[in-house]
Chains A and B, each alone.
Chain A
Amino acid sequence: MVEVRPSERRGDATAAVLLTWFLPGAGHAYLGRVVFGALAFLVLEGLFLVGWMLTDGRTFEYLDPELRGPFATLLAPEAGNLGAMLAYLKVSGFGALEATPFPPGMFLGSVLCAVSGLANLLLAAHAHLAARAPLSRTPGAPHPALLAAAAWLLPGLGHWLQGRRRRAVLVAALLLGLFLLGTWLAQGSNLSRERHFYYWSGQVLLGGPALALEALLGGLRVTGEIRWVDVGLLYGCMAGLLNVLAVLDVYGVAEQRWLGREEGRGSAGSGAEGGVPA
């Protein structure tokens, strides 16, 4: 993370992130970017609302009854849009009390709510950088949050757009290969949020490929014992979780470039010593 002198900052970055987490756009409004904040609010809460309507408020009915509790949904991607998720739980809870067929828009609605949560995390990163960016800064390089979104959407795409082509190919090959191998081992049974609520939460972090394959093959019926289902589920979930590392790698380099500092961040795990100005 690149540090900027306090006198050059627009506001407190932590406050901006927390505000965004609870209410999309609130962090930007706090930083004085009211129009951007209002637009972000409309888009992200709109996505969540459409998802809510399509699912009939039954997304968390996917959770087994014994898993339902106050903290059970915090590992779901919807938790990235915390205010909306809490409202959802308050109003709809864990869905219908009686076993009834899910509505036809269940998959799409569930994905829209999840995407709203993930997109809000990117918006929070945007707000964090907006708070720390020098007031005199003029935009040049692509915004890090945008490149992070690309890296989520398609593993390797963020690196590719940064011009780091070899790394892009390696990341894409490793993560997509792991995911496809996992899907083959699980015979497609990993492509279902209803069957594997928490594994799915990790797998969805792989972005477009996971969602596209689920849209195509998610309805496959399981007709017998799947020998390597555990390995397949683990591979699919790990591919998504490891994509978070790839997204952070993209974001770290993009942040350096966006703030106009090319010193290199050294060990990403220990912060961004290279970017701290003298």
Chain B
Amino acid sequence: MEDSFNIKFTRGEIVGQWDWTFEIPLFKTIARIGKSGWDRRLKEEIEKIEYLKKLKKENIFFTKVEQDSQNPRIFYVEGTSEENEIVNFLIRLPIQYPFVPPYAEEFYYGKYTFYSYADSGKVACLNQINNRWNKEGRHGIAHFLAMLGYYMALARYNVDLKSFRKRPRKKSK
């Protein structure tokens, strides 16, 4: 399976194109959290998130992205899956952000559990996102969400990914 930007996946037929990262303009302001220029960067982050929302592409699942009122390095993401399940989770910005990607805390999407780090029974995509991340700091939260949407689409269409496992269903009594 190929794994690169802007690709149409085939399983005998074309089933979708989900990576919209390339459609979001790169960031102009590059600043670390709390350092000079961060306020401008934050403004640009919000602009880019709105831009991504307006694209209205398939698998751009989120409806709301909100910064924590107490902790500027935490953002809450809320959205709905195609099955109309509510998807919500929080993303954390590492101290090296934007030179490294943010990461998402564990969340459920359909029958899968997503987690940034490799763990048994979970879809781990941080390594893949890390490989795609613009190391000059020109990617931001919007790009991260677009990349995440891409991996969530892979899960939805059961595309085989390394360390990809179904969430164990609870046995009904």
Q: Do A and B bind each other?
A: no
Which A residues are within 8 Å of any B CB, using their own CB?
none
